[in-house]
Structure 1
């Protein structure tokens, strides 16, 4: 056992944003239901990504959201950390020795269009040419250029509630914005969605709507404590989507989307797309297979994109 769990105390790190604290509350409820005799300590860690207001590329991509928490985890100050799966960098972009120990049930994966308070409802098709659409994701910016070339994507930063307040105040630097529906629901702001963008044409980010709890790879005690919290179907979806990104050598600065689904028979389907940041035609692939092999199915989806020409868009070599 680690010193803290041996003493009946389990330390978990999380970002302090309202959205992060809501998902931490869901983890806390699940953990206490399985381990009522272990004291749970929530440690708030302000990430470099929370403090930086410029493009994430300037500070190393989305690893800026996990770097400080990873350091706390690896040096033993924490037993686990909580994060949105879409914000967790791949294994090639972070310190070794960290693994996913639990995966909570997936929430809604869809993105939504958000308008300023008091603005009449509208869809992306109905917005006038030149409308500035705020987003922090290369994926969303590339989708806008490909599907709605009359609109202008502009970069925005900040937590969801901060961006919403700035949008309403007219200080966001954008006329409207794209946000994750799951995030708005966590903040009780889902009614602000003017249009829900269906994933059949607006593919979500890999890991969208999934909360993961990570721990040190060699901490078998924590692994055992977290394992009962995992929602098995969501773990299959996450493993498939991450395998696709790994095949593409993709990270948060990659304009790529992956969406895995399970049908009633337990068959796994992975839809993947690599987007042209300049707005050209996207490349798409689909792979299907058994849920028992999510990594294999996801990897095939990624390989098919590479062989279809995605290497040119991604700047990687086969």
Structure 2
């Protein structure tokens, strides 16, 4: 019986149950072990105020290293790009809708304005990346830090406490939340550039557990692995974590070419720099993106 480590939020449990069901298709039984992380415990601070990286993953990774669980399911975008010594990513899931979604209270919609929001509208997000992109698309918005699980954040717009909130489409879809009482704006991920790895679940295990790695490899989606590797390599080269105002999105077309859209600001209040790079190979692609983001030049 495999023990799967997971956070206890509704979305985290959905993801862990999904992996459990995928393993069962291969005749592999498992049980869930819920582990509380720093990000779950400290709800009153924005992400940029929490210490270090991996505040949604560290405690789960500790349980893996200590042998209390055999593998762990994470949102890939929450995972630091450098794995702790002794741990590896054994599988990446399919990719759900990658974009961010703007959910607006129906009485606060202003058609004709960017994102259908008026000057001075309040919009909930604790993500520096989202704040920087919002400022670029609509400088008149007022970002407000919000924390909590997906349904809790959604209710901030539903109740009218805020005019709107920004959430990942993947979480809304996986939880099958009812959005009928809200106006839903879905900007293109090429414009509202998502976090590296957004919409993907990662399954992590111990590097020396070869049998477990073989079992988990049955769940791996290779093209998702290629594209998110480009995105996360850009993040790593930028030496960024969850709080860096950086969006990176990579697509692979039917001819095998890679297309990357990236957006970066030195901080959430600084002007946003956008780049788009296409290549027939991943070799040198992340380096090219980073060069253009930092210097506005090609290598």
Q: What TM-score do the two structures reach when normalised by structure 2?
A: 0.90
Give the match for residue 224 of structure 1: 214
Number of paired residues? 292
Matched, 1:95 2:55: no
CA distance in 2 between partners of 1:105 and 1:163 (Å) = 25
Matched, 1:261 2:251: yes
CA distance in 2 between partners of 1:122 and 1:28 (Å) = 44
Map Cα deviations across residues 118-148 of structure 1 (whole Å, 9 max, x no partner): 5465566232211111101100001111221
Equivalent residue in structure 1 for 2:101, among 112, 117, 132:
112
Matched, 1:75 2:41: no
Equivalent residue in structure 2 for 1:306, among 284, 288, 294:
294
Cα root mean square deviation, aligned: 2.1
CA distance in 1 between partners of 2:156 and 2:292 (Å) = 41
Matches within 5 A, 1:131-150: 131-150=121-140
Give the match for residue 227 of structure 2: 237
* 1:228–1:251 distance in 2 versus 1, CA, 3 Å: same
Give the match for residue 86 of structure 1: 77
* 1:233–1:283 distance in 2 versus 1, CA, 3 Å: same
CA contact (8 A) 1:275 1:282 kept: yes
Map Cα deviations across residues 133-177 of structure 1 (whole Å, 9 max, x no partner): 110110000111122111111111011011123433355xx3211
Shift of 1:186: 1.1
Shift of 1:251: 1.1
Matches within 5 A, 1:1-318: 9-34=1-26, 36=27, 38-53=28-43, 54-60=45-51, 63-91=54-82, 95-116=84-105, 119=107, 125=114, 126-171=116-161, 174-189=162-177, 191=179, 192=182, 194-277=184-267, 279-290=269-280, 293=282, 296-308=284-296
Q: Secondary structure at the match of 1:60?
A: coil
Q: Secondary structure at the match of 2:90?
A: strand
Q: What TM-score do the two structures reach when normalised by structure 1?
A: 0.85
Alignment gaps of 5+ in structure 1: 1-8, 310-318
Tell me which protein shows more helix as a share of its residues.
1
CA contact (8 A) 1:143 1:279 kept: no
Q: Secondary structure at the match of 2:123?
A: strand
CA contact (8 A) 2:234 2:286 kept: yes
